[in-house]
Amino acid sequence: MTMVRLRRQDPRVVGSYRLLRRLGAGGMGVVYLGTDRHGNKVALKLIRPELANNPEFRSRFAREVAAAARVRGNRTAPLVDADPEAARPWLATAYVPGPSLQRRVGDRGPLSCVDLARVGSAVADGLVSVHAAGVVHRDVKPSNILLSPDGPQIIDFGIAYADGAGTLTHTGTAVGSPGFLAPEQVRGQPVTPATDVFALGVTLGYAGRGSSPFGSGPVDVLLYRVVHEEPDLEGVPGPALPLISACLAKDPLMRPSAEEVRDRLAVLARRQAEAAGDPGPRSGAVRTSGGKSGGAGAGSGGEQAGAHRSGAHGNGHDSSARSAAKPPNVAGLAAAAELLSAPPGASDAAAGTDTGRNRAGARPPAKPRTPSGGNGPRSRGGSTTGGGNRPSAQQRRRVLLHQAIVFVIVTAVVALAIAAFQGGGSSHKAADPTPGVVDDGPGELAAAASAPAADWANRTYADPTAGGASVTLIGGTATVGADRVDLAATLPATFYGEPATVVILTRTPLDGGPATHFVELFRFDAERPTALGVKAVPADPRAAATRWAVEPGAILRTVTVPGEPDVVTRYEVRTDGSLR
């Protein structure tokens, strides 16, 4: 927060707190930096004089105090003190040093993928604590998230809704910040924890692209967009896009819970961090996007990525994954090659083996300098040795055995490295995996006889062709603009041993243009489907039939064209559930 000096009309003492600076002002009052008698800093909110006599505002403030007192968590600023009955009611929370997320993005631009995932996971963790107390915040937005040295903190429960508290608004009246409200808030419908998840999705969209997914403009325009239009998520880091899109579903029942958002973003943050900081030679594991990371020096990663790409083969495919790092255990291969080229007995000498003449601690004898044509025996390597150093038959057999073992190991390592770089021999690898994703190989996807029941014909799905927007099916179909979207297939599966389902949607232009398949993978958390990955693939316009199946680690599409052999395409599933 930005601190400014107190104004002439500002009080110097409120309750037992001495006020030092102004931190900000809002619709309900002014927030000050204060200290108690022990020197502990607090953020003290003082209601405006013109509102202190308004019963509605007093009631709202009392509710804020009650809600803040119920919340316990390390991601929310704890309530320290309050006096709702004072002539000018006030509330004091622990002071959180650090800028708001809004200011951070405004000053330095959108967050990188790893920072976006870390901030989002922390804020979602705070919402878990809020919801566990029976409270809905109702005003989650970038200015209410402070980036402290201990991590993001949620502040300002000024319009929080607690279970059992009556609403202070009339039906159809929205309370909150336009552009960050959920559709149900705009319609004046009851709020739930899913309301905060929607606002979190808007906040993360803002942090990931630098502007609100619903744009800017008059209040009524923003409210209309929230209810009737899809968010603009262009520029949001790709790995975070499916989850943010799910948070922004118009139907509250289709949104993930705060717990799911927290856990999935925590996994994403860990993988992105490991990818960015892993110095090991894993085959092209890091795919640097080169986008903004919110500070000076952000271009270094992009330059490095460009250097890796410069070695791409001219086959129309991105081979940066192969040129970005050496094969596994290159140092070991070099050492093995050196060992294989060494003369017999060298391995024993290098290991300090006692040959019978060079005892421990004894100085090795100098090699005799034999002139050309002399009588000193010459080794196969061309150097002269003393006759007494000629290796015995037992030593030669031992060296040969060592060489054979090393040869077998080197051969196996080279074979594994080649197999790793070729993706296990798959001929259907995607041309350009999502930047920033750690490619750990195929995930443990497998076909299953059944999966938990879900109403696949009546739910909201991600539409990857529309920048991460969603499409809601009713009765297995939906009309989106000039296109029709139909539920084509559902395939029961397991993902790492847990129930999962692959859902296939087909988007067909009504004017007869080329169709597109949406391949979407869902897992089940407590019998509730959660989206993991989605991929848009063009349909074959010549196809007489298209069949889908699940095989270990991949989803298969078989296209039947009259008079031609069937065409089988394999879409691999990564370890995080994304598709390639």
Which residues is 41 bridged to in the sheet?
A: 35
Which residues share a beta bridge with 135?
162
Rounded Cα gap, residues 577 and 580, in angstroms = 10
- Residue 537 has a CB neighbour count (10 Å cut-off) of 17
C-beta separation of 367 from 329 below 8 A: no
DSSP label at residue 532: E
Rounded Cα gap, residues 157 and 149, in angstroms: 22
d(CA 206, CA 102): 9
Q: Catalytic residue among 139, 156, 318, 483, which?
A: 139
Separation of alpha carbons 309 and 317, rounded Å: 11
Residue owning tokens 């799911």: 260
- The verdict on whether 483 is a catalytic residue reads no
Nearest-angstrom CA–CA distance, 23 and 501 = 50
Q: Which two tokens stand for residue 424?
A: 């296990």
Q: Phi, psi (5° rounding) for residue 196?
A: -65, -35
Gap between the Cα atoms of 155 and 146, Å rounded: 7
As given in the structure block, the two tokens for residue 180 are: 């960050």
C-alpha span between 101 and 21 (Å, rounded): 21
| Other Cβ atoms closer than 10 A to 177 | 21
Please tell me whether residue 307 adopts helix, strand or coil conformation.
helix
CA 220 to chain centre: 33
Sequence-distant (≥ 6) Cβ neighbours of residue 387 within 8 angstroms: 376, 377
Judge whether 535 and 518 are in contact, CB under 8 Å: yes
* Spatial contact of 144 and 269, defined as CB atoms under 8 Å apart: no
- Residue 22 · residue 3 · CB < 8 Å: yes
Closest-CA residue to 247 (of 21, 508, 530): 530
CB atoms within 10 A of CB 390: 12
Tell me which residues are annotated as active site.
Answer: 139
